[in-house]
Chain A
Amino acid sequence: MLTSGIILLAGSLLSPNPGLIFWTAITFVIVLLILKKIAWGPILNALEEREKGIQSSIDRAHQAKDESEAILRKNKELLAKADAESDRIIREGKEFAEKLRADIAEKSQAEAQKMIASAKDEIDQEKRRALAELRNEVADLAVRGAEKIIKSNLDADTQKRIVDTMIQDLSTNRN
């Protein structure tokens, strides 16, 4: 108690000291100026730069996200379109192939029919020619055979009999 009383009564605790005020002011101003130059400038600049850097990084990230989303959407659209396109192409190809197959089958059938018809014609023709040739041959052979038979069997009796039968035939036929 007494101690604190003495401290308060001493009074010098609050006594002004111009010298100290002067030195404080000088020291503080010099420190302020030097620190402003050597420390606060670089530190605050660095902080600001970092803040800007972080902000721009965030902005860039957002932008990149938006861009990638747009690209993804576009890709999906393209994929869907490509899918549809490929479906269409496949369908068309199938249809075309079907048509082509039908066409080819039809054509080949017609061709075969035609070929069969022409082959028949040819066979007929050949047959006819062969028949004609056979007939000529047979006629020649018959004539030659008859010639030989006639040459060997031609005598008076036989001739006479033949003529007789002929005459008889003729006479029976007239009756």
Chain B
Amino acid sequence: MKRVNVIQPKAILKVIAILVPLLLNVNGHAFAASGQSSDVPTNSAPAAVAPAVAVPAAEAPEGEEKAGDVIMHHILDNNVFAFEPFGSVTLPKIVVGGFDISITKHVVMLWLVSALLLTVFSVVGGQYKNLTPRNAPKGLANAMEALVEFIRFDVAKSNIGHGYEKHLPYLLTVFFFILFCNLLGLVPYGATATGNVNVTLTLSIFTFFVTQIAAFKAHGVKGYLQHLTAGTHWSLWIIMVPIEIIGQFTKPFALTIRLFANMTAGHIIILSLIFISFILKSYIVAVAVSVPFAIFIDLLELFVAFLQAFVFTMLSALFIGLATAHEGHDESAAGAAHH
């Protein structure tokens, strides 16, 4: 957090340093150019994201549509990994047995995240292999340990309780996977894989399966079916059983939508703020509104990246805990009755 505070004024200064000369020199010319170009529809090149590379010659009636297209282009998955203005890489299209499993932008991001995760944690894991309980971890291992310990203790142990160790690898992986996806989405030219509903859906399905398997293991088939009746009178089962079954599916659905919507919304807000200046064709708006607000939202996104990774992991742990906790409760009640 402290580092963020240090960077913010610096970033603003840099942006102002770039924009002030442009404002002073080009503004009049730009307005003149835009006035001319409103008559002559030209320039179909895709508008760049950065305001410094703005092409003020975009035509007025198509400006909004263009902004929407660019935003959608940025948010959505596609086959092209664009490095504007340096060009782009077209990713291969693979179709196996009628299924389109082509490598898209988000798949590449997932792989980048995986590579990063594996690199970071092979280093950290290697450090821990040589670590005796007598000496403390340092550097990267220390930083990761804080997060790991947080997930282990505050997320897994406090929500799942007994037998939380079994689910720890899944929770830790999901946390760091989502976290790294979110953070890489904030890097220039990066794309947010977790802003794609398919990715979040897949992760939620994993949580769903983990939860269901944990429930089956904890209760057995009979206990699991009993759990579906929610302990009500048999005459209410016709209502309760469908509700409970729907409840099983709402949880992962909520996880899916929460993560996807949060990550997408943040990016749409940032892009929209940037595009305000293009739509209004004003450097003043760019300096006064777009850039400061975009930076603010960007910092907010940095926080949201951590928050959403935490929320996903936390809710996964909570669902697992809910699915397994009843057994222990019943057991203790039965034990108390026996005694």
Which residues of A pack against B, CB within 8 Å?
2-4, 6-7, 10, 12-14, 16-25, 27-28, 30-32, 34-36, 38-47, 49-50, 52-53
Size class of the B contact interface (CB-based, 8 Å): 35 or more
| Bound form: Cα–Cα A7–B265 in Å | 11
In Å, the complex CA distance between A49 and B234 comes to: 49
Q: Is the CB of B110 within 8 A of A24?
A: yes
A18 CA to B198 CA, complexed, in Å: 8
B77 touches A43 (CB 8 A): no
A33 to chain B minimum Cβ distance, whole angstroms, is 9
What distance in Å separates the Cβ of B93 from its nearest Cβ neighbour in chain A?
Answer: 9
* Shortest CB distance A61–B (Å): 16
A14 to B77 CA separation, bound complex (whole angstroms): 11
User: A20 near B104 (CB under 8 angstroms)?
Assistant: yes
The dominant DSSP class at the A interface is helix
Answer whether residue B318 sits at the interface, using C-beta atoms and an 8 A cutoff: no
Least CB separation from B201: chain A residue: A21
**Candidates A20, A36, A41, A53; contact of B133 at CB < 8 Å:** A53
**Which of B39-47, B114-122, B293-301 lies at the binding interface?**
B114-122
B107 touches A23 (CB 8 A): yes
Q: Which residues of B contact A (CB under 8 A)?
A: 64-65, 67-69, 71-72, 75-77, 94, 99-104, 106-107, 110-111, 114, 117-118, 121-122, 124-126, 128-129, 131, 133-134, 137, 144-145, 148-149, 152, 165, 168-170, 172-173, 176-177, 193, 196-199, 201-203, 205-206, 264, 268, 272, 275
Flag if A46 contacts B128 (CB, 8 Å). yes
B199 in contact with A20 (CB, 8 Å): yes
> B102: nearest residue on chain A (CB-CB)?
A19
Return A18 CB to nearest CB of chain B, in Å: 6
Q: Which residues of B contact A17 (CB under 8 A)?
A: 77, 100, 104, 196, 198
- Is there an interface contact between A7 and B198, defined as CB atoms closer than 8 Å? no
Identify which of A21, A42, A44 contacts B202 (C-beta below 8 A): A21
Q: Are B275 and A3 within 8 A (Cβ)?
A: yes
Partner of A47, one of B149, B205, B264: B149
Given contacts A35-B118, A50-B133, contact A6 B68 (CB under 8 A): yes
Q: Which listed residue, A10, A20, A39, A44, touches B77 by the CB 8 Å rule?
A: A20
Which residues of chain A come closer than 8 Å to B137, judged between CB atoms?
46
Complexed CA–CA distance, A23 and B94 (Å): 12
The reply to whether B110 and A14 form a contact with Cβ atoms under 8 Å apart is: no
| A27: B residues at CB distance < 8 A | 107, 110-111, 114
Q: Which residues of A contact B202 (CB under 8 A)?
A: 20-21, 24-25, 28
Which secondary structure characterizes the binding site on chain B?
A: helix
Assess whether B169 is in contact with A40, with CB atoms less than 8 Å apart: yes
The residue on B at minimum CB distance from A49 is B133
**Which residue in chain A gives the minimum CB-CB distance to B144?**
A43
- Bound complex: CA of A3 vs CA of B128, how far in Å? 50
Pick the residue among B65, B101, B117, B145 that contacts A43 (CB under 8 A). Answer: B145
CB A17 to nearest CB in B, in angstroms, measures 5
The 7 closest A-B pairs by CB, nearest first: A39-B121, A6-B68, A39-B125, A53-B133, A24-B202, A19-B101, A42-B128
| Minimum Cβ distance to chain B for residue A62 (Å) | 19
Contact yes or no, A3 B64, CB < 8 A? yes
A35:B198 contact, CB within 8 angstroms: no
Query: Which of A12, A31, A38, A50 touches B76 (beta carbons < 8 Å)?
Result: A12
Q: A6-B68, A46-B133 are in contact. Are A18 and B173 (CB under 8 A)?
A: no
A2 and B69 CA atoms in complex are apart in Å by 11
Q: How far is the CA of A39 from the CA of B275 in the complex (A)?
A: 43
Q: What is the bound-complex CA distance between A36 and B99, given in angstroms?
A: 30
